[in-house]
Amino acid sequence: AMDFSKLNDKERQQFEETAMRVQMQAFIATYNSLTTRCFNSCVNDFTGRELLRKEDTCVKNCVDKYFVSTQRIGQRFAEQQQLMAESGGAA
């Protein structure tokens, strides 16, 4: 673990800016991946400018499933971390 109390103001600001940049890059990568996955899975008719009702529903379901699954994965990860902490780190 890093001791942030040893950083001066400039170092702390640089660290925070870097952390924000990394977080934004991760968000953009996730957004692009989700967009590509749902578009490729749901959009099949290119004869019009608007999404068909079934395509719109498919995209919404795709995004909902993504968020539900990532939430569940996060919960399972937290549970595993808790179990590892309780067992002294032995998996």
Segment 8-39, tens digit of pLDDT:
889 889 999 999 999 999 999 999 999 999 99
Please tell me the pTM assigned to this model.
0.65
- pLDDT at position 50, please? 95
Q: Which residues contact 58 (CB under 8 A, 6 or more apart)?
A: 38, 41, 42
- pLDDT at position 57, please? 97
Segment 49-83, tens digit of pLDDT:
999 999 999 999 999 999 999 999 999 999 999 99
36 in Cβ contact with 59 (< 8 Å): no
Higher pLDDT: 91 or 39? It is 39
Higher pLDDT: 90 or 53? It is 53
